[in-house]
């Protein structure tokens, strides 16, 4: 805690002992009071990232085409210093292309990449000094963990290269930071997937990068390790304050980990927002559908209300164009209602999972089944298949079709 405004990892001038105790106390603190779940407190506010050393990042009108197909189509984005941003989208949405353009692995056809105030568009991968973490780790197989981490520092030109003792100390610090002290002499093949990815991260952090770029960092790991590692990454980010972008196709990962989420679609940004904004206020049917399981009811908008064919109940649809439209609601945002409210539906299947009940329902006039999900409170019986229920969408959104 001696140097609260400096980055404990990259600050080589600070005494080692202080750094170690500082990191150690951070680790325990983080473990006991881990702020799990989406962190939505004022994204990018430097006050919340006391160690912020990252740079802010401007992307201006980035475009990239592959044989005529637009992989990026005029992307504008501003990432604040110290922010943790998820680039979310299905394959082919341009998220990986965007990350590679920022890293300098690909050159954009048009547009600009700015690190702070410096135009980096024409700089090569090597000159940009970004920390890049690959999905499959890309650790140097024939080097030990310590040699992997030291690679960036050792590769510097002689005049800028730290001396051996400094490098060794920095490697030790980073091994502590990734919670693998004593692993320095092992080879990558002796590590588990999660450990490898942590080493890859330490290797990237060792060069004090301008931004940290992670390409599907948890993609090659199994489910349990994935969840552990992303919580750990979130804690690590709280401490280092590195400006970080990561690519994922997993909405759960993006919601849990990121300060802000950028949803991409066919090379364009569909929506940018905090996880809360993205989840509760999706800007389009595409985002709604992608960010979680969605029930869709087809109907039309007349006079500012959404009408479901064959049903009396209408729903507010302010600001939606007249004509065919779709109502989107999540399974847990629909409640069973009394006889005189909601929409009539017939239960086609019922599943009971520990503390939840999931009903699959058929709504008259709708092709797609509707799913309803609620807590199995004591005394509540699961409706039998074939019985009629009433549905009350508590939260929903209407998009024109």
Contacts with 245 (C-beta within 8 Å, 6 or more apart), sequence order: 57, 79, 85, 86, 87, 99, 102, 211, 212, 213, 214
Among 138, 220, 225, 392, binds another protein (CB under 8 A): 138
Nearest to another protein of 148, 248 (CB atom): 148
- Span interacting with another protein, options 38-46, 91-99, 123-131, 341-349, rule CB under 8 A: 123-131
**Strand pairing class (244-248; 84-88):** parallel
Contacts with 260 (C-beta within 8 Å, 6 or more apart), sequence order: 43, 44, 79, 83, 84, 85, 86, 272, 273, 274, 275
Nearest to another protein of 106, 269 (CB atom): 106
Among 45, 118, 155, 192, binds another protein (CB under 8 A): 155
Q: Least Å distance between CB 360 and another protein?
A: 43
166-225 residues in contact with another protein (CB under 8 A) are 200, 203-204, 206-207
Instruction: List the structure tokens of 247.
Output: 């690519």
Told to check if 134 binds another protein by CB under 8 A, we report yes
- 296-to-186, 328, 369, 370 alpha-carbon distances in Å: 52, 5, 8, 7
- Does an H or E element contain 30, and which? helix 16-32
Taken in order 391, 396, 397, 401, the sign of the CA dihedral is: negative
Told to check if 103 binds another protein by CB under 8 A, we report yes
Report yes or no: 12 and 166 within 8 Å, Cβ to Cβ.
yes
Residue 218: strand pairing partners: none
Among 107, 122, 142, 164, binds another protein (CB under 8 A): 142
Question: How many Cβ atoms are within 10 Å of 13's Cβ, its own excluded?
Answer: 6
220-259 residues in contact with another protein (CB under 8 A) are none
Q: Least Å distance between CB 127 and another protein?
A: 9
Nearest to another protein of 207, 225 (CB atom): 207
Told to check if 105 binds another protein by CB under 8 A, we report yes
Told to check if 139 binds another protein by CB under 8 A, we report yes
Q: Which residues bind another protein (CB under 8 A)?
A: 103, 105, 124-126, 128-132, 134, 136, 138-142, 151-152, 155-156, 200, 203-204, 206-207
């Amino acid at each position: 805690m001696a140097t609260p405004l400096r980055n404990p990892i990259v600050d080589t001038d600070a005494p080692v002992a202080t750094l170690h105790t500082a990191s150690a106390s951070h680790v325990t603190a983080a473990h006991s009071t881990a702020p799990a779940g989406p962190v939505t407190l004022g994204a990018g506010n430097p006050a919340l990232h006391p160690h912020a050393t990252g740079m802010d990042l401007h992307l201006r009108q980035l475009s990239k085409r592959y044989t005529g197909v637009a992989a990026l189509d005029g992307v504008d984005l501003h990432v604040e210093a110290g922010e943790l941003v998820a680039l979310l989208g299905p394959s082919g949405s341009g998220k990986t292309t965007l990350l590679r353009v920022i890293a300098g692995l690909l050159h954009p056809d048009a547009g600009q990449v700015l690190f702070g105030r410096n135009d980096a568009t024409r700089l090569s991968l090597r000159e940009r000094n970004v920390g890049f973490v690959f999905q499959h780790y890309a650790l140097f197989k024939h080097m030990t963990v310590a040699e992997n981490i030291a690679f960036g520092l050792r590769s510097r030109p002689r005049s800028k290269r730290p001396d051996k003792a400094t490098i060794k100390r920095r490697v030790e610090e980073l091994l502590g930071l990734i919670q693998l002290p004593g692993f320095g002499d092992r080879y990558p093949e002796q590590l588990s997937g999660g450990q490898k990815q942590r080493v890859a991260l330490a290797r990237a952090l060792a060069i004090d990068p301008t931004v940290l770029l992670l390409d599907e960092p948890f993609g090659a790991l199994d489910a349990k390790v994935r969840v552990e590692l992303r919580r750990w990454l979130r804690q690590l980010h709280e401490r280092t304050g590195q400006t970080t972008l990561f690519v994922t196709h997993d909405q759960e990962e993006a919601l849990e980990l990121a300060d802000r989420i950028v949803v991409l679609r066919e090379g364009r940004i569909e929506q940018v927002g905090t996880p809360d904004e993205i989840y509760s206020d999706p800007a389009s049917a595409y985002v709604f559908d992608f960010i979680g399981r969605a029930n869709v009811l087809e109907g039309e908008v007349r006079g500012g209300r959404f009408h479901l064919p064959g049903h009396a109940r209408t729903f507010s649809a302010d600001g939606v164009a007249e004509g065919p439209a779709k109502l989107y609601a999540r399974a847990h945002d629909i409640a069973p209602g009394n006889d005189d409210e909601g929409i009539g539906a017939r239960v086609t299947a019922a599943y009971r999972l520990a503390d939840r009940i999931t009903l699959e329902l058929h709504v008259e006039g709708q092709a797609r089944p509707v799913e309803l999900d609620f807590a199995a409170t004591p005394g509540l019986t699961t409706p039998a298949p074939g019985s009629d229920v009433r549905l009350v969408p508590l939260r929903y959104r209407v998009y024109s079709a």
